[in-house]
Chain A
């Protein structure tokens, strides 16, 4: 019988204790933040969206080779003689037109392995982490600064140059050939 009353009393008492606790918390300042307006400070070495500074890129494929998820696709075209591509910020001479530099961020695993091999430090992690998209295709980022027409132009230029070179070579070879033939005829 006493157990019965004791149980009832404890139940009632603990309700009031609990109510006291929650009432105190009514005046505790909120621990949450208003997310899109206020953002938490990110850690110093956070890894988020990649960025490529194309002015410094020499098209060396190092990052594409390091990538474990194969999400970096690079295509390059050699510059033809007479074209000056300038230098990178740490003094390397650029010799290739980069006509394609796509990073598929849907595949990217944010491991940062592509960042370390880069000889010119042109690929790095930024602090942007809000870039969700409705379509997966929109996550393929194109970093090349050339316009599509320019890219085509560079390719055609190089192809023409190759053709010219091949023609010149062929001409030279023919000349040489005829010379040797002449030489053969002599005796």
Chain B
């Protein structure tokens, strides 16, 4: 475990846990955000038969670094009529909300920020924290578009949390645990033990679970998409209607923090889906470390598989963004209340019946 290793180096548990808590930020979220922004622009460009950024570095590889440098140099503008203290606090709260989620995400067998028994519950609870920051940003900006965006965002995130939680409850009924680490460990050895393929327990119930789990996966994917405010559910920051939604008035580094937390959120929900349905950090087939007899290789491989799964779902999010048009507010609510929630409830009942029998 990384924590024990850090404890041995530093000799103090406070320093070790402090360094450990900063690791995902500097080793993962920042590089990921740099990569994801570029990927978003490149993927969108190629889907529209364009080339995207081509100037900075080979095929524009360094474009995001140039953008970050630009944002760092910018003046920190606070508009005159804003509520100054809340205006400055909002990006921090949003970022804290999305960063805290990473504490319970098992990146690999050797690294998990906090091995909580209530991992899934904690993640859902803490990601609700983002709404506070978004509302705060919208209200303190003293701008009608910001406020509209923030209100829409709050309505959307809160209503889409219901199908997410219903699906999570379904998963708990099968696995009997909220701990993401044990959840991933359960789906070990091969891909047919993944929960999307009915879980690790063999029997008739496994095959009955498969269609239900695919439905569950679709529901949770759609609802988490809405929770991170991505197209087709991007009405909180609909650029053609609301300028940029709740972060209209932000510029420079504060805007960059909003951006960073948005991309961190994207990866967080993808990681949760990967951990719940697709075996988390487990390889779909055996490990190279086992066959070669190199035990230290396994955690690195696990990290690779985890990021690969997470990045795949991030790619699907980007892909969907450039495929679907934006939903209207009433359509948004209709999708949630008329389709996702009834299906999730029925799914919950059926899974309950199967597990009882």
A residues near B (Cβ < 8 Å) are 4, 8, 11-12, 15, 18-19, 21-23, 25-32, 34
B50 at the binding interface (Cβ < 8 Å): yes
Q: In the complex, what residues of A have CB within 8 A of residue B135's CB?
A: none
What 1/0 flags go to B7-43 for Cβ under 8 Å of A? Answer: 0000000000000000000000000000000000001
* A21, B323: Cα distance in complex, Å: 8
Residue numbers in A under 8 Å from B47 (CB-CB): 22, 25-26
A8→B339 contact, CB < 8 A: yes
Q: Determine if B51 and A26 form an interchain contact, defined as CB atoms under 8 angstroms apart.
A: no
Instruction: Please name the residue on chain B nearest to A28 by beta carbon.
Output: B49
A-B contact pairs, 8 of them (CB 8 A): A12-B218, A25-B48, A27-B46, A30-B45, A31-B49, A32-B50, A32-B51, A34-B54
Residue in A closest to B46 when the chains form the complex, CB atoms: A26
By Cβ-Cβ distance, the 7 closest A-B pairs, closest first, are A22-B323, A18-B323, A30-B51, A31-B49, A22-B47, A32-B50, A26-B46
CA distance A168 to B100 in the complex (A): 102
Closest to A23 in B: B319
Chain B residues within 8 Å of A18, by CB: 323-324
Query: Contact between A15 and B46 (Cβ–Cβ < 8 Å)?
Result: no
Given A8-B339, A26-B43: A19 and B323 interface contact (C-beta under 8 Å): yes
CB pair A22 B49 closer than 8 Å: no
Nearest CB of chain A from residue B321's CB, rounded to whole Å: 10
- Please measure, in the bound complex, the distance between the C-alpha atom of A34 and the C-alpha atom of B59, giving whole angstroms: 11
Q: Is the interface of A mostly helix, strand, loop or mixed?
A: helix
* Interface hits, B298-341 → A, CB 8 Å: 319-320, 322-324, 338-339
Which residues of chain B have C-beta atoms less than 8 A from A19's C-beta?
319-320, 323
The minimal Cβ–Cβ distance linking B257 to chain A, given in whole angstroms, is 30
Residues of B within 8 A of A28 (CB): 46, 49
Q: Which residues of B contact A22 (CB under 8 A)?
A: 47, 319, 322-323
Q: Give the residue name and chain of the B residue nearest to A29 (CB).
A: B49
6 new A-B contacts, CB < 8 A, other than A8-B339, A30-B46, are A11-B339, A19-B320, A25-B47, A25-B49, A26-B46, A28-B46
Contact B319 A30 (CB under 8 A): no
Q: Could you tell me the distance in whole angstroms from the C-beta of B124 to the nearest C-beta in chain A?
A: 25
* A27 / chain B contacts, CB cutoff of 8 Å: 46
- Contacts of B46 on A, CB cut-off 8 Å? 25-28, 30
Kindly supply a per-residue 1/0 record for chain B positions 52-80, scoring 1 wherever the CB is within 8 Å of any chain A CB and 0 otherwise.
00100000000000000000000000000
- A26 vs B48: C-alpha distance in the bound complex, in angstroms? 8
* In the complex, chain B residues whose CB is within 8 Å of the CB of A21: 323
A95 to chain B, nearest CB (A): 54
Q: How far is the CA of A11 from the CA of B232 in the complex (A)?
A: 13
Residue of chain B at shortest CB distance from A27:
B46
| Residue of A whose beta carbon sits closest to that of B343 | A8
Is the Cβ of A34 less than 8 Å from the Cβ of B323? no
B50 contacts which chain A residues (CB < 8 A)?
Answer: 30-32
**Smallest CB–CB gap between A174 and chain B, Å?**
79
Given A12-B218, A22-B319, A26-B46, A34 and B324 contact (CB-CB distance below 8 Å): no
Q: Of A11, A15, A25, A34, which one neighbours B51 at CB under 8 angstroms?
A: A34
Q: How far is the CB of B224 from chain A (nearest CB, A)?
A: 16
C-alpha spacing A27/B48, complex, angstroms: 10
CA distance A4 to B48 in the complex (A): 33
- A152 and B223 CA atoms in complex are apart in Å by 81
Which residues does chain A contribute within 8 Å of B323, judged by CB atoms?
A: 15, 18-19, 21-22
- Interface contact B339-A32, CB-CB below 8 Å: no
Residues of chain A with a CB closer than 8 A to B322's CB: 22
Instruction: Give Cα A162–Cα B46 distance, bound, in whole angstroms.
Output: 73
Shortest distance in angstroms between B201's beta carbon and chain A's nearest beta carbon?
Answer: 29
> CA–CA, A167 to B133, complex, Å?
93
Chain B minimum-CB-distance residue to A32? B50
Which residues of chain A come closer than 8 Å to B338, judged between CB atoms?
A: 4
Q: Which of these, B43, B49, B218, B320, contacts A32 with CB under 8 Å? A: B49
Interface contact B324-A15, CB-CB below 8 Å = yes
Contact residues of B between 255 and 277, Cβ < 8 Å to A: none
A31 to B320, CA, bound (A): 22
Distance to closest chain A CB from B102 (angstroms): 28
CA of A18 to CA of B338, assembled, Å:
23
Complex Cα spacing A32 to B46, Å: 11
What is the CA–CA distance of A31 and B218 in the complex, to the nearest angstrom?
Answer: 34
Give complex CA distance A102, B276 in Å. Answer: 75
CB distance from B347 to the nearest CB of A (A): 14
Closest to A20 in B: B323
Complex-state Cα separation, A152 to B339, whole angstroms: 87
Complex interface: chain A residues within 8 A of B54 (CB):
34
Q: Tell me, in angstroms, the Cα distance from A19 to B318 when the chains sit together.
A: 11
